[in-house]
Amino acid sequence: MNRRHTTGTLTFLVLLLSLDALLSSAAQGASQTQTPSTNHYFTSLQAAIQAASPGDDILIPPGTYTETLAIATPITLRAAHPGTVLITSGINQSYIMSINTPNVVLSGLAITNPTSGLYTTGLMICAPYTTIQDCTFATTSLGIACWTSNNTISDCTFSDCQDEGIAFLATPTDPITCNLVTGCRFQRNCDGIELQTCSHSRILDCDFTNNTHAGIDAIGSANNDNLIANNTFTQNGFGIYLVSSTANTISSCTFTSSPSYLTNANSTEFTGCSIDALSLRNHSSALLRQCTNITASHVSTSNSTLTFEPPVASQTLSPQPASGHAVASIWDHLAALLRSILHF
């Protein structure tokens, strides 16, 4: 590892992390241009993380790293060349990486966890003010599990997660708030994002495509005052599925073959959206302001209130049976409750 000074911090360049690679280089008589006093060699990423000081920047060279990592120091862990570093599991790893202190940054990493099992996870965020940028999460049950507030996840890709790409997990007695997801892509997951007791979150400029249950699934209770804006939803079981929520705003979103479903969700506002279908159930209420591609004939209601602004021609909104997706989501909610109780 080459340590060089930067403004206010130290940057680590991890030169050799694999013991096999280190022995191979020695056998080949490989030499480094740095002097021996500035080279720091580690046999694992975890060893490099443990050697770092607060504010340090660890640069990882291309390669596949089979490790389980725990970060307890506020550092930056980044790929020296984005998209060339894969961190994955060995056998029976419930998670690949956990962040246990505030102000950690991950950048340019690919994380997978092919271990079979309920809710095996790529990354666990257990501390606030975490930043995840330009990373990919795939081939795992759950890409990111987050239990904390004030985190930022930007420009990441989540694909082929059997459960959720991201799950924000909280309880009524321990809610989380003010998380930001922006510029991310969610493809072929069960749910793109799941919210459980999350408020004042922002989901912006994201793409949700071919997620089998929902692009965004807000379940449990008290998923209130969230902003969902400038997103596209294409070929999802549901675009947005809201349960027991209040005062959420969906703005400038486009829904294509992605119907939205609200149950016991009050004061939901859709503004400037292109919507293909909407169902309201169990005393839900929604305002559709300046929305396109939606008329009363595209809406089904049951004991709920829908307002168009400007008004549309009066049509009867008769109750319709819940879709197969809605029935299936009951099992999704039971599974989420089990996960909350077990806390993974």
Q: Could you tell me if residue 170 is inside a domain?
A: yes
| Segment (H or E) for 190 | none
**% residues pLDDT > 70 (the chain):** 79
Instruction: Give the pLDDT confidence score for residue 35 in this predicted structure.
Output: 26
Q: Could you tell me if residue 71 is inside a domain?
A: yes
Q: Could you tell me if residue 301 is inside a domain?
A: yes
Residue by residue, DSSP assigns 271-319 as ES-B-S-EEEESS-EEEEES-BS--GGGEEEES-EEEEES---------
Q: Could you tell me if residue 295 is inside a domain?
A: yes
Instruction: Give the pLDDT confidence score for residue 216 in this predicted structure.
Output: 98
Lowest mean pLDDT among 12-26, 193-207, 237-251: 12-26
Q: Could you tell me if residue 152 is inside a domain?
A: yes
Looking at the structure of the chain, the number of domains it has is 1
| Segment (H or E) for 139 | strand 136-140
Instruction: Give the pLDDT confidence score for residue 313 in this predicted structure.
Output: 52
Q: Could you tell me if residue 46 is inside a domain?
A: no
pLDDT at 238 over 60: yes
Q: Cis before residue 36, ω within 30 degrees of 0?
A: no
Q: Could you tell me if residue 30 is inside a domain?
A: no
| Segment (H or E) for 45 | helix 45-51
pLDDT at 20 over 50: no
What is the pLDDT confidence band of residue 233, given thresholds at 50, 70 and 90? very high
Mean pLDDT of 311-335: 50
Q: pLDDT tens, 157-213? A: 999 999 999 999 998 888 899 999 999 999 999 999 999 999 999 999 999 999 999
Per the structure, the complete domain to which residue 119 belongs is given by 62-342
Query: How far is it, in rounded angstroms, from Cα 125 to Cα 206?
Result: 20
pLDDT at 333 over 70: no
Q: Could you tell me if residue 89 is inside a domain?
A: yes
What is the pLDDT confidence band of residue 58, given thresholds at 50, 70 and 90? very high
Q: pLDDT tens, 101-154? A: 999 999 999 999 988 777 799 999 999 999 999 999 999 999 999 999 999 999
Instruction: Give the pLDDT confidence score for residue 51 in this predicted structure.
Output: 93
